[in-house]
Structure 1
């Protein structure tokens, strides 16, 4: 094709229909410019690098010449930013043009971000056009113009609006953020190629059943922040990664996923749960931040489990409370674990509290222990020492101190966190410990005392890594000090002291 008036033998796609509806452009009569003489694949590459890769921006190139008129439909990645209901009409027009195009490649990325008020236009008009032309990633993000909490959403809006998801047989990833619209799955069909499904801020109509018949290839599933989900049933032979978080109102959950390798559960079983069953013999990583009533929650054997992360260990609490009960129950489920990560949380105000450390009387046999400390300015030595006494056979230890940009001086004189001054001179022997690291070190007195304690307690320590907090200016002097300490340690061969880089200010 040499110009607008010439034909190259291809069927004409009306310029004033789909392209004009998407971009508002009108095709002029003009000679082909030098840019249009470039090969199609290079021109598509140029369209792909529009910032952002917006379908309307790509469609506007139809004004250049008839050569460009069909070219934008060759772009495999489309992003729509819909600031009002008219935006959905543009999505419909783009997908309709895509369906009519001859030999157009499948869409590998279709993102629709809808930022509007409470009114929500029908989605079926464009969603029904997407499955045949999409073989990659679908993202639909619905958000109110003004953020609204889940318990403040207008009830009538949630009842009368729904998101009807058709069957995407070729899509590989789907991410839906629906601002608590009701999700309706197709009554039949299979998402044959889908490997990843993320559902956030979804409202369910009581039950959600996910199985191999509809999702035969699913490997990763995230369900976060839901309403109306009472009964969750997951039966998958392909699933390897599963995160469930803040499933409000959940009463029953049954997970059968024998190939599952990672499970994370956060605040799903605290209030209404009646029964929870997890059958996952292949599990390798378990992250648990939830209730664990042994009468209601049932785990299968997990012979391959390697990593366990538990939220959270509370060293101090109100008299009469038992904040570590669920933690103790899940720890007792295992006799040994390769890697244990504990989140240690000390409340900012410890007045009128008492020690709750005694609620944990034993830990499994552990090879690697990681403690993530949220201390809010309190002394951590007593809490750390108490835990270390129960796992003296570890070979690696990691202590992550708070990342707060400023030290919170909330710890008053004679605070309960430091009423056990003997922890600084504590006698503990960790003869198998070979590597230790401390992150976000600030050089405070109680942190230095804890460092000394570790060096005394681990005669076989070979390697010590200290990463100082970005605002700790004396880290080089700490390096010299650590080297002197290492000189008195018969086995220590490597001491590394570095500093977290301060992020650049915008």
Structure 2
């Protein structure tokens, strides 16, 4: 029964620590049928395996090594650990080296695959180390193999696995000539019945070992197409733009191409009949419309850093769409028609004349980021830098502070649509745009959270927020308002607000009123306590009849002598609104109560510091 308890810990280190409980628990971990070591140095894992008796029937041995403090990997230690793991003869072995380790200088490290006589499933991730098949003997019962690294002799490896049925293989840093020969070997094996469920080809630039030109790339891509694996990953970095033809993968369900500066100008005539997931990172398909048409089962499409000016996506099968375009390329139009789309993510850089049409009636999760090539002015004074709309699943309060923490997600809480803007004060070279027209380009209308990142540069912003919050779409949707002011400020000549500055127009904005009937929570970050800021806080209390919570965090630049007066003024204003729970914090996280705020103005301290999250 104790062993059953330890099995459910899913961690050999945690199981070994139970020996501190009593004598009955000591050493029991070494008798577990499954041993899992994650993020542990190679030396500690080897020492632990020395306590496991060879007669122990190990069904699973999972080793995921942790990178050393200097980021280097001792190849000899890793080789010795792999041989130690083979002596336990597990039925299933997982051996993963740290991500991108730095190999110690000297001769290249070669990992010889030991003979796992009882293993039916092996997963080896050797990163960029040389991997060789066993010099003698076989892997007699091996059925599933997943292997990654600089694999030297694929043919010899397959010959020592007579029962191998499923192979997932990733070549990293292999010489192009040797790689093409290895792909031809895999083609022969696939014709004889071997299922190649995954094929990866990675020529990472940071290794500085090998690279391929356009001609070699076309040859390797054609060889991979003849294998037609279930999943394909191809990674390479080109120094100049290369035009290439895209070949057809008839049986492939997932294609990920991380190919910087590759442009596919020619598509095959046949369909990608089984393709469900397509990721293009750094590369471009010039005729993306035709590619989508010839992929009738496509469910997920991701295009990153593409150079497409006019985006057109029409698909009846797409459920997830992600488009992230090159910031150096101006997007002119977006036309999306996807009737069953569930998730949409757009990151677009374009001018104010960007044309947008999106028809996706079933979309549930949206991320829309809009940046501008010009400097659009709204309300004649303020510069709109970016516009973002995103679906957040965990937007809630924790210890009185509005947070967005996926680890603290509550399944009972519904998703929230968050509208976020970055706005700065007047820039003389901007072009005035119709802000209401820009808002119409947003797909989701029923957002509930409004975040405003406002770089006022010393200017008054109350009149501007009156106009912004008074817009119909914002006024009738906002339930939570968050205003983030800059955390740094220097009153230079360029940022001083002059007496005739239009930032405070209209002058009577303090006496005007708007009805924010749904607004329940307000959070203001980096408040400095100026008169116009206090006026805005006072006004918003009167604009929102349903307001129940107000959180204010003062900027660190507020003088000690001014803290008490600022907090006291806000608390006194809130006294007229008993339904509003007002909380004021210093930049350090210390919460100020009403009496303590008054004491701060006299340099006193009535309450001990209380840290907030």
Q: Same fold (TM over 0.5)?
A: yes
CA positional deviation for 1:408: 6.3
- C-alpha change, 1:366 and 1:405, in structure 2 (3 Å) is same
Partner of 1:224: 281
Contact 1:310 1:343 in 2 (8 A): no
Per the alignment, residue 429 of structure 1 pairs with 514
Distance in 2, matches of 1:142 and 1:343, equals 37
For the Cα contact (< 8 Å) 2:383–2:430, is it kept in 1? no
Given the alignment, which residue of 422, 435, 440 partners 1:344? Answer: 422
Contact 1:229 1:250 in 2 (8 A): no
> Which deviations, in whole Å up to 9, do the C-alpha atoms of 1:437-484 show, x marking residues without a partner?
436435463655544443232121123345677999989978877655
From 321, 326, 340, the counterpart of 1:282 = 340
Unmatched 5+ stretches in structure 1: 1-31, 147-153, 328-337, 502-506
Q: Structure 1 residues 447-456 or 59-68, which shifts more?
A: 59-68
Give the root-mean-square deviation of aligned CA atoms. Answer: 5.6
Counterpart position of 1:140: 202
Q: Is the 8 A contact 1:205 1:228 kept in 2?
A: yes
Q: 1:489 aligns with which of 571, 577, 580?
A: 577
Q: How big is the shift at 1:255?
A: 3.5
CA distance, structure 1, for counterparts of residue 510 and residue 457 of structure 2: 21
- The alignment status of 1:124 with 2:165, answered yes or no, reads no
Matches of 1:212 and 1:289, distance apart in 2: 29
Residues 208 and 495 of structure 1: is their aligned pair in 2 closer, same or farther, counting only changes over 3 Å?
farther
**What secondary structure does 1:455 align onto?**
helix
Q: Give runs of aligned pairs for residues 312-391 of structure 1, distance below 5 A.
A: 312=371, 339=417, 341-346=419-424, 350=426, 352-353=428-429, 356=432, 358-360=434-436, 363=439, 366-373=446-453, 375=455, 377=457, 379=459, 381=462, 383-390=464-471, 391=474
Structure 1 counterpart of 2:252, from 171, 191, 213: 191
Q: How many residues align?
A: 430
Partner Cα distance (2:283, 2:156) in 1: 33
1:103-118 to 2 correspondence within 5 Å? 114=173
Match of 1:461 in 2: 547
Question: What SS is found at the alignment partner of 1:341?
Answer: strand
Contact 1:176–1:199 under 8 Å retained in 2: yes
Return the TM-score normalized by structure 1.
0.61
Equivalent residues of 2:549, 2:582 under 8 A apart? yes
Q: For 1:303, which of 352, 361, 372 is the aligned residue?
A: 361
Cα contact 2:384–2:423 (8 A) shared by 1? no
Decide which of 160, 182, 194 is 1:100's aligned counterpart.
Answer: 160
2:62 paired residue number = 45
SS of residue matched to 1:44: strand
Is it true that 1:71 corresponds to 2:116 in the alignment? yes
Contact 2:476/2:517 (CA < 8 Å) preserved in 1? yes
Q: Secondary structure of the equivalent of 1:223?
A: strand
Cα gap change, 1:301 to 1:231, in 2 (>3 Å):
closer
Task: Tell whether the 8 Å contact from 1:79 to 1:112 is kept in structure 2 after alignment.
Answer: no
Map of 2:128 onto structure 1:
81
The CA deviation string for residues 49-97 of structure 1, in whole angstroms up to 9 with x for no partner, is: 46599999765556669847223985414141369xxxx9832447853
Structure of larger gyration radius: 2
Q: Distance in 2 between matches of 1:470 and 1:175?
A: 49
Distance 2:196 2:74 in 1: 16
Q: Superposition pairs for residues 155-234 of structure 1, below 5 Å? A: 157-158=213-214, 161-162=217-218, 164=221, 165-166=224-225, 169-171=229-231, 176-180=234-238, 187-192=248-253, 194=254, 197=256, 199=258, 201=260, 203-207=262-266, 213-218=272-277, 221-226=278-283, 229=286, 231-232=288-289, 233-234=291-292
SS of the residue aligned with 1:37? Answer: coil
Secondary structure of the residue aligned to 2:150 is helix
Q: Which residue of 1 aligns with 2:44?
A: none
Please, what TM-score do these two structures have when normalized by structure 2? 0.52
CA contact (8 A) 1:266 1:288 kept: yes
Q: Answer whether contact 1:54 1:79 (CA < 8 A) is retained.
A: no
Structure 2's unaligned 5+ residue stretches are 1-48, 90-113, 131-147, 388-415, 590-613
CA contact (8 A) 2:555 2:586 kept: no
1:234 CA drift (Å): 1.9
Any conservation in 1 of the 2:228–2:249 contact (CA below 8 Å)?
A: no
- The Cα offsets for residues 249-279 of structure 1, whole Å up to 9 and x where unpaired, read as 6667443144435544535895587x86422
CA distance in 2 between partners of 1:449 and 1:121 (Å) = 72
Is the contact made by 1:312 and 1:345 (CA closer than 8 Å) also made in structure 2?
A: no
In 2, the alpha carbon distance for the partners of 1:343 and 1:482 equals 26
Change (3 A) 1:270 1:264: same
Q: Specify the SS of the correspondent of 1:124.
A: helix
Cα separation, partners in 2 of 1:253 and 1:394, compared to 1, 3 Å: closer
